[in-house]
Structure 1
Amino acid sequence: MGTFRDAMSYPLLRVGLIMLILALLISIAGFYRVNKTYSASGTLGEGMHYLGDDKFENEYLYHNRTLVLYSSNANLSLLQGAEMTNYTLVDREITLHPEERPVIYVFNGSVNYTYNATAVDYPYAVYSLFAFVLMLVGVVMAFLGYTQFLRDVKEGKK
């Protein structure tokens, strides 16, 4: 029976295994994550205000948002999707954790706000498609090399 060293002398099997190892390393790199943050603060007057950055909200995953509102005397509504919540702030501060990008409508007065959002980005995840193709080609090449090796063992060449 042939040994592993004998099997590795077949170029198709060797290249196939190298491709499989390379595909595994590339797919592991796809799990690398980077935390991204966005922060904004200021004063909102009367009217409709969209907080946050459109690019940040759409580009990254798994947002964790914190919205702090403070006013000496203001009435406002926080819109999130189809849900609307009304607040009256009289010398008070509220901390909210919206699930979507917040939209605030200030009826009267002015509101000071601080908006912080953190998200997760996987910058190398796109390379997992290349790793998948590399894995498929590697499996086929390793299989062809292994069957060639087995045929040679059966014929007594190895």
Structure 2
Amino acid sequence: MFGYVRAIDDKKPIFMIKVSVYRGDLSLIDRAYTDEEGRYEVEIPEGETVTVGFDTHYSLTNADDWQPSVIANVIASDETALDRCLMRRGQAIDEASAMDALNGYLLTAATTNVRADAAYAATAENRLSMLKQHSLVLQALQQKLMEHFGNQT
């Protein structure tokens, strides 16, 4: 599977975004980072249904710049092109994009031992604090995620 990761506002490629691919039980299959053109490529067993997460890595210079994203229930193949646009931290594009970012944090909370990764938790809490939600339900979820990551730092 391959694709491109770009900024949602100006469509410019984003360098060094971590692309993680998981099975239905959330076990990691493969991980890659985008290149200067925003392109990535991961190896996935043909026909397997996967979830793909797009996020920054706490040790990189762009760690606080981008909100995460997730795509669930993708049937993978070598010809599957899976492009994604990410929102900048502090940006409010629309409610669907903000909800997608929350889903990205949920995926990370479910797949990462954040206690062992306090540096990621700190960047996640910072980025979450800048995410604008218009729904009370989503605001409550955002608050729970901020508490989750905040307790890990």
Q: What's the TM-score bracket when you normalise by the shorter of the two chains?
A: under 0.3
Q: TM-score, normalised by structure 1?
A: 0.22
Q: Which entry has the higher C-alpha Rg, 1 or 2?
A: 1
Structure possessing the higher relative contact order (Cα contacts under 8 Å, 6 or more residues apart): 1
* Structure number with higher helix proportion: 1
* Structure number with higher strand proportion: 1
